[in-house]
Amino acid sequence: MDEEQKRMLGQLLVFGFHGTTATSEIKALICDHYVGNIILFSRNIETPEQLLSLTSDLQKAAKEAGHERPLAICVDQENGTVRRLSTGVTALPGAMLLGATNKRRYASVVGQLTAKELRAVGVNWNLAPVADVNNNPNNLVIGVRSFGEDPGKVGEYAEEMMNGLQAEGVIATLKHFPGHGDTVVDSHHAMPTIPHGLKRLRQVELMPFKACIKAGAEAIMSAHIHFPALETEPVPATMSYKVMTELLRHELGYSGVLMTDCLEMEAIAGTIGTAQGAVAALLAGADMLVVSHSESRQRAAIAALEAAFAEARFDQKRLDMSFQRIDALKAKYLSWDRLPRREELKNVGSTFRQSKANAIYADGVTAFGGRKLSPHQPVLVFYGNVQHRTPAEEKQDEDHPLVEALYKQAAMAKAIAFDADSQNWESCLAEADLYGQIIVATSNIAQAPYQQRFIHALMAKGHKPIIMATQNPYDYRFVPKSLTFVATYEPTEPAVAAALAYLFGQGEANGRFPVSVNEDGR
């Protein structure tokens, strides 16, 4: 490859790195290989001020290296359980909570608020919204990241969020094409299969993407999932010409940027390998190739792509095609004259923005059963550890957010952690006998069934605890229907605070489950 071709190839690459400052390794890739796009994770982020310094440093390296346009810098800021920015910023509701409000305009509001905060810290590209239809309660990777199980509703809410992000100058990305909602395998660990026929795919999985493409979608991320109806061999969609080009480009008429999910996920890295996966994805029709973590794999991917070009596995015309799509997107959103200024940080995480978000949280509270709590009587809360479903979700090092919210709202309250240990239960059950008001906070019971057993142990002693599902509304399937059940959809402080406010008679429960929580499909 000559120098100009290397410059073009660099614009197809989306690389990540470790650390909260720009490393010499990532700067070298930006300078020597013209890498034009960066993906950031929680490992790169501490505070808004630090993040702005980091993104500014990365942009400085790109400008000094002679990049014609600024770097596209992206994060997964879906909100809810998947948010890379979490300290010093506005806490915003995730997709399923938005779906529970039944007010699609909220998705646009959240999109706009998200974009304003991202732009202020130098992030110009969001890997959201999720357009997957979560119609499988056993889905390990999507779950509450989806707006719900109704394809039409998911399409409407995804479109609203996409438009909200783009209206505020941040690139939006629909994911995970052609649909990750009906899987029971996490593609971070292995390759899932969706066995349905084309008719069903068009009626469910593809519908939200089709609606958003019609509305002007500009970036889409592929899924590492095998669709036998489209690809007889066990090839993930990311590396399938039939999916990426024939289906998405030709049948659905999509002309925007198509990026891969991370090529280091086991569905790719554990089969064809990251480097050859990058080549295969490009040949299938991808424009942007994501290698999020390892510098050695990043350099191997560059070498494999350059070798494939030298061997004429793809030509200048194919390189031009992807480069032009990416360049057009960057020309619309990015400019060296529009980089953020430090004074824009003053509104990030402001009281005004959080109050707007809190009103949405309150509208999403969903409840079955009408039992309430008296603020004048002691209340005891038992909470289990947050059971993370997927590596995409943020890990929590601190106490459950419910604890802080509880002590803010109830003068006579106590919170106790419970787990599967029998000795722990003995002391918990003894404590419960001292209280007439009890809440059990659950988190993905299917993954930690000890929570269900603990509820039955309380009931065996004559207690009728209120159940608060702090992450997964499908927990309702495992809870006795005689008990009052409240869903928060995410273990964030504003979400659980809104649910507590309802239980203490200070709010309503206007939310409706956007998925079927009964075992009979209702």
Nearest-10 Cα torsion for 229, 230, 232, 238: -130
Is residue 296 classed exposed, middle or buried when 0-12, 13-18 and 19+ CB atoms within 10 A define those classes?
exposed
Q: Which of left, alpha, beta for 21 (phi over 0: left; psi -120 to 50: alpha)?
A: beta
Angstrom distance (rounded) from CA 15 to CA 519: 42
Strand order in the sheet with 366-368: 366-368, 485-487, 466-469, 438-442, 379-383, 413-417
Residues classed as catalytic: 261
Tokens 């958003």 correspond to 212
Burial 49-64 (b: 16+ CB within 10 A, else e): ebbbbbbbebbebbbe
Is residue 343 classed exposed, middle or buried when 0-12, 13-18 and 19+ CB atoms within 10 A define those classes?
exposed
Q: Token pair of 321, please?
A: 């095609």
For residue 283, the number of C-alpha atoms closer than 13 Å in the C-beta half-sphere is: 15
Report angle CA 259, 260, 261 to the nearest 5 degrees. Answer: 125
Residues sharing a CB contact under 8 Å with residue 398, sequence separation 6 or more, in sequence order? none
